[in-house]
Structures are given as structure tokens and as C-alpha cells.
Amino acid sequence: MFLTRLNSLLIFLRLRRSDPWSPRTPLDWILYSPLQWLAALLYRNRQVDWLKSLPHRWKVVIGGNHDLCLDKSFERKLSSAGRHDSGEKVFDEQERQQQEVNWGGIEYLCDRAVELRFEGGRRLNVYGWGAVPGLGEDHALSYPRHRHPWHRRIPDETDVLVTHTPPAHHLDLGLGCAGLLDEVWRVKPRLHVFGHVHRAHGTEPVYYDECQRAYEAIMSRRPQGGPLRDLLLPGPHWLDVWDMVRHGIASILWKWIMLGPGTNNGGLMVNAALMYGDSGVLRNPITVVDL
């Protein structure tokens, strides 16, 4: 009872987060895993500002977990669960009409790819899908975390990947999909755009190198059981930290000193969520990137 009241007081004082969709506070990190906090701080110091203004002629959109009218299987799922027999009205007439959307010149991607052609013969291959993990039958495009659908789903030639869910450990507050992360490693898109976790809005360069592997290994480990054990107890987690630091230094020396700027073969991840937290207000800045 005392611990519950203490935790409530810490949340009231904003020293701890109130829900898993909010960023961890420093105290949250210390209690959860100071080692992971250290890894996150070190890893994010590799980021660079890739935001530039870029005129565009193509518009590509995907659905998300609230876009019930775009999920053709949603009504079937409710029917099989007996929800229609109860007299509950799932779709009103307006929602039924929205199922037949006239997209005009907008490319709506639902588990499909499109090739965008530009002046001068330049082409970009874009794949998009709005599927999200672990939200259950009351959400559109939802799948169980332990049975993710991403294995070899994204075309090899994808330049730009657009998903609703983030991959695990990148701009996700710990809520991303590990299966999607594996698929991103296989394809290595130049740009991966997602949202879903509103408070993790931002950009993060990725290099698909050993430093990133070590960082992801650290973030995927269970904490050692308290901050002191996490920091002081020797184990494989410390080897991952050492690998991350070692490979990070080597990567910087090789890419920026020996070869010079512009030689990175990685990409950019963008959490482009526009909603400010769960306020319903679009306050996050629009993200513009240069490809």
C-alpha cells in the first residue's frame, strides 16, 4: 500500500510517467535499467540533423489502428465474435460509405508497393502497410505480437518503408514490433516512416552496423533486477555496452575521418506522429527529409 501511494505521488509530481505511452523520466530509467538509459544516451548522440525542405509531387498514405473503415476484415471479426447478434451497431451508413474511398491522386498502400517516378528518370520504390501489434479485435489492422506477419513481407527493392507501428527500440518508447525490426534489417530501406507512438516523435539515423546491433541487444534484454544489480553485476549486458561503444567509435573514425561525410550506407527512421501526446491536437512539427 505504501509503495502504491508513493508511486502515485511520484506520478503526480511528474517524476515518473503515468502510462507506457509516455517517455520514461530519468527516475523511470534509473529504477528500470540505468544501463539501458546509458546505452540510449550514447546511441542517440550519433544522430545528425537531416531535416531539409523538399518539394514533392507524390502523396502516399497508409491506415492505422483507428481506421476501422479501411480494415475489410474488421466487421467479419466482430461478426465471428457474436457482436452483431447483440444488436450493437458497428458501422453506421457514413462509415460504410467511407469503405469505398476515392483516393484521387493519393497512393493508398495496404500491404503493397508502388514505384514513384520523378523528372530526370529517378525512381523510388515505396512499400506501406498500417498493421500494428498487440491491440486486439477492437482495433483495425491489429496482429498478435507473438505472431507477427512481417517475415519476408517487404519487397527487397524497397527504398521508402511506411508503417504505422515503429520497429522495436527506435522512437517507440518500448512499444515497437521486434518482428518489423528484423524485416527492416533484412531490407535496409533508406527511409522508414512510422507513427503510432505520439510522444516518441522525431528522427533517428540508422546505420545497420555492429554498433546498432549491440544497442538493440541491450535494449531487448531484461533488466538485472534493480539499478545496482543492473549497473554493477557483471554479465553479457556489459559486453553489449562495450561492443556498442567500440563499434560506435570505429564507425565514426571510418565513416567521418577516413572516408569523409556522405559515405554512410544506412538510412533514416522518422516517427512522424503529428498529434501531441493523446491530446487530439496536431502540434508536433511536420518532418521533412532529403533523399
Taking the domains of the chain in order of start, what are their residue ranges? 1-32, 43-271
Confidence of residue 187 (pLDDT cuts 50, 70, 90): very high
Asked if the model's pLDDT at residue 185 lies above 50, the reply is yes
Please report the pLDDT score of residue 87 as a whole number. 35
Average pLDDT over residues 232-250: 77
What confidence score (pLDDT) does residue 156 get? 96
Residue 153 CA to residue 111 CA, distance in Å, equals 8
**Which grid cell is 179?**
518482428
- Asked whether 199 and 173 are in contact (CB, 8 A), the reply is yes
pLDDT exceeds 60 at position 277? yes
Q: What is the pLDDT of residue 126?
A: 96
What is the spatial distance between Cα 274 and Cα 133, in angstroms, rounded to a whole number? 20
What CATH topology corresponds to 43-271? Answer: Purple Acid Phosphatase; chain A, domain 2 (3.60.21)
Please provide the average confidence, as pLDDT, over all residues in the chain: 77
Q: Identify the top-confidence range among 36-45, 91-100, 104-113, 271-280.
A: 104-113
What is the pLDDT averaged over residues 186-208?
A: 93
Res 180 pLDDT > 90: yes
**So what's the pLDDT on residue 46?**
57
Question: Cell numbers at residue 13, please?
Answer: 509530481
Minimum mean pLDDT among 4-18, 151-165, 181-195: which range? 4-18
Q: Which residues contact 227 (CB under 8 A, 6 or more apart)?
A: 30, 31, 33, 34
Residues 6+ apart with CB under 8 A from 45: none
For the cut 90, the answer to whether the pLDDT of residue 166 exceeds it is: yes
pLDDT at 289: 79
174, pLDDT greater than 80: yes
Beta bridge partners of 205: 268
Confidence of residue 275 (pLDDT cuts 50, 70, 90): confident
- Categorize the per-residue pLDDT at 26 as very low, low, confident or very high, splitting at 50, 70 and 90: confident
